[in-house]
Amino acid sequence: MSMNNSPNVFLDPNANRFQVNIINESHDNTETSQDDVGSDPPHYEETSFTDEAHNRLRISYRPGKRELYDNFLQNGEKTEASLHPYDTHTKMYYLQTFGHNTVDPVPKIDYYRNTGSVSGNKLSRPSLLEIHEQLAKNIAVSTGSVERVANGESTAGDETAVSKEEENKTGFVKFGWVKGVLVRCMLNIWGVMLFIRLSWIVGQAGIGLGIIVIGLSVVVTTLTGISMSAICTNGVVRGGGAYYLISRSLGPEFGGSIGLIFAFANAVAVAMYVVGFAETVVELLKESDTLMVDESNDIRIIGTITVVCLLGISVAGMEWEAKAQVILLVVLLVAIANFFIGTVIPTNNEKKARGFFNYQASIFAENFGPDFRSGEGFFSVFAIFFPAATGILAGANISGDLKDPQDAIPKGTMLAILITTVAYIGVAICAASCVVRDATGNINDTVVPGMSCNGSSACSLGYDFSRCASQPCDYGLMNNFQVMSMVSGFGPLITAGIFSATLSSALASLVSAPKVFQALCKDNVYKGLHFFAKGYGKNNEPIRGYVLTFVIAMAFILIAELNTIAPIISNFFLASYALINFSCFHASYAKSPGWRPAFRYYNMWVSLFGALLCCGVMFVINWWAALITYAIELFLYIYVTYKKPEVNWGSSTQALYYINALDSALALTTVEDHVKNFRPQCIALTGAPMIRPALLDITHTFTKNNGLCICCEVYTGPRKLCVKEMNSSMAKKQAWLTKNKRKAFYAAVAADSFRDGVKSLLQASGLGRMKPNTLVIGFKKDWRNATATQVENYVGVIHDAFDFELGMIIVRISQGFDISQVLQVQEELEKLEQERLALEATIKENDFEEGKSSICGFFKKASTLNISKHETKKESSINTIQSMHVGEFNQKLLEASTQFKKKQGKGTIDIWWLFDDGGLTILIPYILTIRKKWKNCKLRIFTGGKVNRIEEEKLVMASLLSKFRIKFADINIICDINIKPNKESWKFFEEMIEPYRLHESCKDITTAEKLKRETPWKITDAELEAFKEKSYRQVRLNELLQEHSRAANLIVLSLPVARKGVVSDYLYMAWLEILSKNLPPILMVRGNHKNVLTFYS
C-alpha cells in the first residue's frame, strides 16, 4: 500500500475548507514500484481546514492511477463516478464516508430526529453491530447513491419524501417573532387596565409606589419570561405553549394538570374580555339613550355577536387572525400616542375644572407620595393592577405556528415585556404629572383672592377643589376612570383603544385555548378527551377545540358571574407562571446532561424565587381563589399520576429520580450493615420472568416493598446469537415485570455455561449496599434425565452461592415452574385467532365488492362456497392444533403457576428449623405471614430434640421465638429424626440412585480405577457408605414431613449442605429429591450463618 500525500497540499493557499485526502488501498494490485517502497518517508492521511470557499475535494492518488479519479469531482459537483476506484476490483462492496472503506456515516441532524418529525424525515444510522461485525455478503447499492447512503440518506422513495416535505412547507402558515410573538404579547399585556384603571392606581399609590407596583408585577413576568426562554431554547418546541413547556420539563403529571386548567382559563378569559368590550359599547349606547333591551341583556347580545365574529376570524385561519391582530395593534398604538400628544396640547377651562393642567412640577410633587383611600392599601392596589401585566404566554401558546419557536419566543416575549413596561410607566407618570387627585368639574370653582392654598397644587393653579375633602367628587385621578379620554387629543380614539385592547385579548385567548387543548389531547394524557386532538386544514386547525371554547365562553357570558370567576382565572395563569419558573429550576437542579439551553441569562435560584413569588402573588390577589387553584391542580395531578399515561418525554423529574437514587445509594455505602435492618435481597434464577412466574411470585412475596429482587437469565450457546437475543429482549422483559406490577429488576448474562453465568451474576449484581444476599432457584425436577454436565452446573451454583456467602433458597412445587409450553400453545392459538379474524374481514370485503357488481353476481355463490371451504379448513386446522396440544396444555401446570398469586386460605406454614443458619429459615416465613395473601396462615415450628427433654426443648424454642417477637401457633419437638427409615422408603432411594452408582467394590482395581476416570460424577460405594447416616436422615425426614406437614399450605425446611469435593453431585440431588418428594410447596432454606435476627433493641 502506498500513501502519497504531497506536502504541497498543505501549503496550497487555495485549499478548500473541508479537504480530504483519499488513501488508496488495494490487495490485488502488485504494481507498486521499488521507488515507492523504502525511498519515500511514510506519509499519513491528513485533513486540512482553511477558510477558503472553493469546495473542491483534493485527492492524493498513486502514480499511474490518476485517470481513475478524473471524474470523481468536477468543480464541486458530484458525478456517478464517486466511488472508491478499488471497490470495483474487490469482491466486497464498501460504502464511503471520507473516502475510506467504511459504512460509518458523517454526523447529520436527520439521525437525531424523532419518528414522525414534521420538520424532516428521521434516518437510521448503521447500528454498532453492522459496523462491528464482518460484512457477510455483497452490498448491492447503485453507483450514484453511494455517497448519499454513506451519509445516511434514503435511497428509496426520496422523491416522494422530498415532495411531501415541500408540500408541507408550502402549506403551513408560519409566523416570525414579530407577528407571531411580539404583536400578540403586546396586545395581550396591554388591556383595558391601561385606559381605565392605571390613573386610579397611580392616584392611590402615588408615582413612587405606583412605579413599584408596576415594577413588582414586571419582576414576576420577567422572571417567568427568562425561565420560559431557557426552556424554549433547550430543544425544538412544538405546539401547546405553556402546556408543552411544563409537560416536557416536569412530566405529564404536572403538564396534564396545568394544561387543562390553563386551557379552561383561556376559554373563560375570552368571556371576560368580550364582556369588557360589551360593557364599553353599552355605556356608549346608554349615553346616547339607544339601549336595545336593558343593560344586562344588551351585554349578552353584544357579547354573543362579538364572540361569533371572533370565532369566524379564528376558524378562517391563523393568517386572518394574525392580520386582525396587526390592525388592532395599530389602533392601540394610535390610542396610546393620542394620550401622550394630548398631555402637551394646551388645556382649556373645562379640562382644568376636571383636574387637567398639563405638565406641572407641583402636581408631580403632590402626586408622588401615596394617598390610599376607601380601605385600599399597597397589596390591594397591586392585586388590581397585576392582571394587566399578564399575557406573556400569548406568543408561546401558538408555538406550533411559529417558524422558529426557539428564537421567536424568548426574543418576542422579552421585548414585549420591555415595551409594555415602558408604556405603563410612561402613562402612569404622565397622568400623575398632569392631573390632580380630586376635581369638582365645575369651572366656577376658582380661587378667591386672599385664600390660603395650604400647599394644594390646584389652588396654586387657580382652582379651589377643597370641598372634595368633605364630599365626593366626580373628577381627578381618584374619581374618574376616563382620565385618559379627557387628557387625550381626541377622546374617541381612547374608546377605540379600549375596543382594540379587549378584542385583541379575547382573540388571543380564543386562539390559545384550542391550541393548548389540542396539544394536551394529542398526548392522550386524558384518554376521554382524545376526540379534540383532530386538526383540520393545512394548519391543522383545532376546529373542535374552537367550538368547545366558543361554548364555554358563551356559557359564561350568558350565565356566569364574571366578577367572582375573575380572581380564579388570574390565579390559573399565575399557577402556569409558577410551574414554568419551577420547571427551569427543576431542570437545572436535576443536572441532566440534556439540559443545555441556548439562552444563558438565567439562574436556577432566580427561577425558584420567581416560582415562590408567583405563589405569593396568588395569595395576595385572592387567598381563597389560590386555595381553589391548588386544590384543582392537586386533584388533576393525582388523577394523571394514578392513570400513568404511557409517555416518556425525558422530563427533569426522571433526571431527579436518578440523582436522588444515586445519592441515596452512595449515602447507603457509608452506613454499616446492622442486623436489625437485614432484609432478604434476592437474586432469583427465573430465566425469562414470564416462563417461571410461580418462582418469581414466591420470591416477590417476601421482597415486595421490603428488599431487592433481581430476576436473572443466563444465555448459553454461540456468543453472537446469545448477545443479540439478550440485547433485543432486555427492555421487553423489564416491561413485562412493570406491566404485571412486579417490583423487580431483570438482568441477563451471556456465558459459556450456566454455572459461569450465575457466577458472574452473583459477583456483579447489585449496587453498593443494595446487593443480593440470597439466591433463589427452582428445584431441578428433570435432574435424572439431564446430562452430567447440567447436574454438575446446577449443584455447582449452590456451591458458588455458599462460597460467596449468600443464603440459599430452593423452591419446589409438584407441577414444576416452567410453563414455556403453555405460553407457546397460547401464542399459536392467538396467531390462529388473528388469522381467522383477518380471513373474516377478507370475506366481508370480498362479499361487498361482489355485491357491487351485477356482472360478478353470477359467480358470487361459487366464490362464497370456495371461501367457506377455506374457512372450514382453517377452523378445522385450529381444532386440530388444539387437540394436538391437549396433552401439552396442562391445566394443572397453569394453575400451579398462579398458586402464589392467590390469597391463601386458613392453614399453616410449617417451619422445620433443624439447623441454626443465622435465622433466615425463620425470617422468610415470618415475612410471608405479614403479607396480605398469607396473613391467614399460622406458623408451626418443628425442630429436633431428645425424647426425655421434650417440654424443656419446647420452652427453650418458645422463649427464643418470643425474644425475636415472632408469633407462632405450635411448637413440635421431633425426637425420631435419626432412626432408620422404613424399608420401602429406603428401597425407593436405592433404586433412585442405582443408575448413578459406580459399584467399584464389585470390580477389580484396574477396572474400578478406569471407571472412576471415565465417570468421575458417579456415586462410589465408599462415598455411599460414608454418608449412609446422612442419607438415612433425608429419607426419614421425608417420612416425617409426610406425617406432619402433608396438609400445610407451605413447608420451610432447613437445606442440607454438601461438602465440596466430598459429596458427589448426584448423591446431593438424590438427597434433595427424596427430602422434598410428594409434598406441598416447599422452600429449602439455608442462611449464610450470619445473624439476620436479633432480640436487642
Residue 1051 binned pLDDT confidence (cut-offs 50, 70, 90): very high
- Interhelix angle 378-385/198-232, rounded to 10 degrees, is 60
Beta-strand relationship, 807-812 and 907-912: unpaired
Pick from 248-252, 857-861, 901-905: least confident: 857-861
And the C-alpha cell for 408?
421567536
Pick from 392-396, 747-751, 769-773, 782-786: least confident: 392-396
Q: CB under 8 Å to 225, separation ≥6 — which residues?
A: 392, 410, 413, 414, 417
* Per-residue pLDDT reduced to its tens digit, 297-315: 888 888 899 999 988 888 8
CA distances from 200 to 19, 428, 440, 475, 966 (A): 70, 9, 16, 11, 76
User: Which strand ranges, in their side-by-side order, compose the sheet holding 709-716?
Assistant: 745-751, 709-716, 682-684, 774-778, 807-812, 1082-1086, 1050-1054, 907-912, 937-944, 970-974
Closest CA to 80 of 68, 89, 72: 72
Beta-strand relationship, 937-944 and 907-912: parallel
* Per-residue pLDDT reduced to its tens digit, 565-575: 777 778 888 88
Beta-strand relationship, 807-812 and 970-974: unpaired
And the C-alpha cell for 800?
458458588
In this prediction, residue 850 carries a pLDDT of 57
Look over the chain and give the mean of its residue pLDDT values, rounded to a whole number: 79
Average pLDDT rounded to a whole number, residues 17-46: 41
Q: CB under 8 Å to 382, separation ≥6 — which residues?
A: 213, 216, 217, 620
Pick from 158-172, 416-430, 606-620, 945-959: least confident: 158-172
Pick from 218-222, 273-277, 958-962: least confident: 273-277
Q: Name the H helices within 814-856.
A: 820-852
Is residue 566 within 8 A of residue 191, CB to CB? The reply is: no
And the C-alpha cell for 29?
494490485
In this prediction, residue 35 carries a pLDDT of 43
Average pLDDT rounded to a whole number, residues 116-129: 69
Q: Name the H helices within 765-819.
A: 788-803
Long-range pairs for 68-73 at CB < 8 Å and ≥24 separation?
69/22
On the CB side of 631, CA atoms within 13 Å amount to: 7
Residue 989 binned pLDDT confidence (cut-offs 50, 70, 90): very high
CA atoms 928, 929, 931, 932: torsion sign: positive
Site of grid cell 404511557: 646
Q: Residues 473, 474, 476, 479: what is their CA dihedral angle, to the nearest 10 degrees?
A: 90
Q: How many CB atoms neighbour CB 912 within 10 A?
A: 27
* Per-residue pLDDT reduced to its tens digit, 1060-1071: 889 999 999 999
Is residue 850 within 8 A of residue 863, CB to CB? The reply is: yes
Average pLDDT rounded to a whole number, residues 774-786: 93
Residues in a beta bridge with 73: 78
Kindly provide the b/e burial profile for residues 459-480, where b requires at least 16 CB atoms within 10 angstroms of the residue's own CB: bebebbbbebeeeebebbbbbb
Pick from 136-145, 327-336, 347-356, 361-370: least confident: 136-145
Q: Give the 3-state secondary structure of residue 443.
A: coil
